[in-house]
Each structure stands twice: as C-alpha cells, then as structure tokens.
Amino acid sequence: METPQDSTETLGPEETHPSIGDWETCAADPEYRAAVLDLLGALAYGELSAFERLAEDAKLAPTLDDKAALAGMAAAEFHHYKQLHDRLVGVGVDATAAMQPFAEPLDAFHRMTAPSDWPESLVKAYVGDSIASDFYREVAVRLDDDTRSLVLKVMSDTGHAEFAVEKVHQAIEADPRIAGRLALWGRRLMGEALSQAQRVVAERDALSNLLIGGVEVRGFDLVEVGKMFNRITEAHTRRMAALGLAS
C-alpha cells in the first residue's frame, strides 16, 4: 500500500538483481525453497491480518462512505490472501502451517499499535502497511520469476494509500492540534514495525539468507540487512511528509 513514487525510491535498482530462473529450477535448492515458503507464509498471514484489521477499523469510520471504502479494501486484502494460500497449497504445502510461525509476531505488532481513533487508524493503514510492503519488495528482487510476480501482485495498492492521505489531511485541517500526536504515532509505528521485522529475520535462517543476496548466498550479513532497513526508514520519512507530519 504505497504511493506510486515510493516503489521506485525505496529499493535499489532492480537491474542489480537479474533473474535467477523460475520456481521449479530454484526450488531444487532446499534452502531457497524453505526461504520462499517462509516468505509466502508471512505474507499470507499479513494479508489475512490486514483483512481483519480493515474490517475492525471500519467501526471507527465516521461516515457510511468511509465504512464502504474500507470494506472494499478489506475484500481486496482477502483476495490477496487467497492467492497466497492457493500458491502454498499448489506447491504441496499446508498453508496454515506455513503461516503459523508468523502469527505471534504480527499479532503482537497489532496489539501494541491498536489505534485509539479514526485518524490513528488511517496513519497506521498508510504508514504501517507501507513499511510491510517495502520489506517484501526488498525481498522480491531476489526471488525467482514466478514468486516475484506473485509477491509484487499482492503488494499492489488496494486504493488505501490515496484514501488515507486524503482523510488525514482533512482531519488535520479540521483540528490542527492532532498533527503532533499523529507524528508521534507514526514514529511509534515505525519503531514497532522494524522491531518485529528484525525479530522475524533473525529467527528464520533461510529467510535471512535470502534477504542478503538470494539463493547463492549463505550467512547472516548484518551490514546488508542494515542497509535494507535504512532504505525502508527513508521511505517512511517520505510518507510522513506526504501526510504533512514530521517523522
């Protein structure tokens, strides 16, 4: 869930990561296969959580139009989840088992960042989900062609980005005093999101290897992963500016 300019600015040039082949070829490497199944499991649970959260956030919406808009976005997130679920099943994997290792850290993030009102839910939707999108797009450039295509497809904007920016601007215009609170909220979201992402990467060896260079790389390079998180942080700063908030 991003603005169009974010996808080109967040990542390094895609040409630095040439195609490594299709899924059938790359999955012959058991570590690569394990990493991609981790990735798809995490992404599937993230999309399922997004569906649930958008449905819950609709309760905070001040108008019927806003509720309807969130319902449409929730439906799009569930469609993304189904695509990932079907892909996992298609490669012979129990989708629930693939998602299970990522349920607790993602649920923990949402527990710690439950919005208290409508503007906070909008900032979380825009900023929080965009951080996740950046993370998965960073990984996508290192994937086989088939998996890369799927990841980029399910990371496509559901229309929430433009909606959130417009509504946050309206909320600040109506009450400029909330800008400071929302800026602090955005910083908290960033901190919690990076903490959970780093935890997942550190705990899943195959996924960490994939992050630092793909199928041919082994080991956990903290420098390379640090650069990735720096790029994600820079994109967050731009998004906060788009909302009219300090990062």
Query: pLDDT, tens digit, for every residue of 23-67?
Result: 999 999 998 999 999 999 999 999 999 899 888 888 889 999 999
For residue 15, being part of any structural domain is answered with no
Q: Is residue 4 part of a domain?
A: no
Query: At residue 2, does pLDDT exceed 80?
Result: no
pLDDT tens for 77-130 read 999 999 999 999 999 999 999 999 999 988 988 889 989 999 999 998 888 888
Q: Which domain holds residue 171?
A: 27-242
Which residues have C-beta within 8 Å of that of residue 35, sequence separation ≥ 6?
Answer: 204, 206, 207, 209, 210
Is 12 part of any domain?
no
DSSP per-residue string spanning 100-118:
HHHHHHHHHHHHHT--SSH
What are 149-162's pLDDT values in tens digits? 999 999 876 677 88
Instruction: Report residue 133 as tokens.
Output: 């999108």
Q: Is residue 84 part of a domain?
A: yes
pLDDT for residue 222: 65
Helices (H), the chain: 4-10, 23-26, 30-57, 64-90, 95-112, 118-123, 129-140, 145-154, 160-174, 178-203, 205-211, 222-242
- pTM across the whole model: 0.83
- Which CATH number do you get for residue 84? 1.20.1260.10
Token pair for 98: 């693939």
Whether 214 maps to a domain, the answer reads: yes
End-to-end C-alpha distance for the chain, whole angstroms: 18
Count of domains observed in the chain: 1
Query: Residue 205 and residue 196: Cα distance in Å, rounded?
Result: 15
Q: What is the mean pLDDT of residues 6-20?
A: 53
Residue 3 has pLDDT above 70, yes or no: no
